[in-house]
Amino acid sequence: MGISDRLVGKKNVNGKPRIDTVEPSAALPGGEVRIIGSGLRPHELRRPRVQFGDVEGAVVISSDQFLVARVPEGAHSGPVTVDANGHASNAHDIRVAVTIAENLHPVTNPALDLEGNIYVTFSGSRGQKVPVAIYKIDTNYNVKPFLAEMMNATAIVFDREGQMYVSSRYDGTVYRVAPNGTMSAYAESMGVATGLAFDREQNLYVGDRSGTIFKISRDRQIFVFATLEPSVSAFHLAFSPNGNLYVTGPTTSSFDAIHEVDPHGSVSTFFRGLGRPQGLAFDIEGNLYVAASLRGKRGVVRVTPEKHASLVVAGQNLVGLAFAPGRAAVLATTNAIHHLSWDIQGHPLLPVEEAAY
């Protein structure tokens, strides 16, 4: 007798639906999760009811052994239950991200400073002058304008001293921005400057939409570090704990790749099979997290060092993420920022003794 046979038998004995697992176990409101178990569909092919705490979610697909439900607005982290044939199932926990800021336009990862404040862009369309280019979200989730003058602010990164750097895909410049919002050009002629990342020696890497990755040394000498194929933009950059650089650039393909660049600038394909991969981040175990689609399901995909991929957060319109203090993550969609209590330790972008992780 198989596992499913035993579960169906148990359901028939007590008449109650049973949840065995929820995949993925974290989501944004609007994300779709798969609930697996037995006895999940009522008799006469009626739809079951799915409760996320006190809020009912929409059932997209239902069968006896699995159903797909959409996490409703207003849901919080806590129990999920299925009601079928007048009986409620056992509860199974799910983590739901909380929206902390809206009416934004991030196009890459959010960034956190040493105190845990979050910075996010309102990037606008190419050549659009927006009233505020970067917003600051403090640790109490108060949202305040931070920088007004930049055109098409794209990626934000901090060095180990807490100094902010921002790329502009409008003029191909990387700007250094002081805590009071004063900015100065740090490096120019970076093409359509997009992704930013610092290595362990505090060299700054800048991605260009033509696939070029520039390396800027501490004395501000500029080198061409690596080149991807011209059809792939170096839009998002992140360094792994092993010191290699990982790069994504979304295309119209549903089979895009994550590229790996070693310290000598040699480019290889780390993983292929994602739809529109965007912002990247690593945990301390070397797992890579990327905002992307996997087998048609959008959210955050985890790719292990052994190159096994799985969807770990369900959610639409995700463009980036950053790990935060307290084993949490900050998730960016195309118009909002969300906080997820996730119980995953992020790999610090700054040295461990200086990072608040």
Instruction: Return d(Cα 279, Cα 273) in angstroms, integer.
Output: 16
CA 43 vs. chain centroid, Å, equals 39
With tokens 């969609």, the residue in question is: 333
Average pLDDT over residues 80-94: 93
Contact 103, 146 (CB under 8 A): no
Residue 47: per-residue pLDDT: 82
- In the chain, the percentage of residues whose pLDDT exceeds 70 is 92
- In the chain, the percentage of residues whose pLDDT exceeds 90 is 81
Residue 330 DSSP SS3 = strand
- Choose one of 54, 76, 96: the last residue of a domain: 96
Which of 354, 357, 355, 324 minimizes the C-alpha distance to 110?
A: 324
Facing residues of 70 across strands?
Answer: 32, 58
Q: Are both 103 and 91 inside the same structural domain?
A: no
Is beta strand 26-27 parallel, antiparallel or unpaired with respect to 92-96?
parallel
Residue 120 forms part of a structural domain: yes
Instruction: Return d(Cα 225, Cα 214) in angstroms, integer.
Output: 5
Residue 302 forms part of a structural domain: yes
The pLDDT confidence band at residue 12, using thresholds 50, 70 and 90, is very low
Q: Are both 133 and 59 inside the same structural domain?
A: no
Residue 170 forms part of a structural domain: yes
Residue 296 DSSP SS3 = coil
Instruction: Return d(Cα 11, Cα 47) in angstroms, integer.
Output: 17
Total of domains in the chain: 2
Residue-by-residue DSSP string for 180-233: TS-EEEEE---SSEEEEEE-TT--EEEEETTSEEEEE-TT--EEEEEE--TTS-
CATH number at residue 324: 2.130.10.10
Instruction: Return d(Cα 48, Cα 124) in angstroms, integer.
Output: 42
- CA dihedral 353→354→356→357, nearest 10 degrees, is -40
Residue 168: per-residue pLDDT: 95
Residue 5: per-residue pLDDT: 41
Q: Are both 268 and 144 inside the same structural domain?
A: yes
**Host domain of residue 177:** 98-341
Contact 97, 26 (CB under 8 A): yes
Residue 28: per-residue pLDDT: 98
Q: Are both 87 and 129 inside the same structural domain?
A: no
Q: What are phi and psi of 250, to 5 degrees?
A: -70, 140
Instruction: Return d(Cα 97, Cα 350) in angstroms, integer.
Output: 25
Q: Who wins on pLDDT, 254 or 157?
A: 157
Residue 188 forms part of a structural domain: yes
> Model pTM?
0.91
Q: Are both 79 and 125 inside the same structural domain?
A: no
Residue 14: per-residue pLDDT: 61
Residue 45: per-residue pLDDT: 66
Residue 344 DSSP SS3 = coil
Residue 174: per-residue pLDDT: 97
Residue 76 forms part of a structural domain: yes
pLDDT in tens, 118-139: 999 999 888 788 899 999 999 9
Residue 112: per-residue pLDDT: 96
- Residue 201: exposed, middle, or buried by beta-carbon count in 10 A (0-12, 13-18, 19+)? exposed
Q: Are both 231 and 332 inside the same structural domain?
A: yes
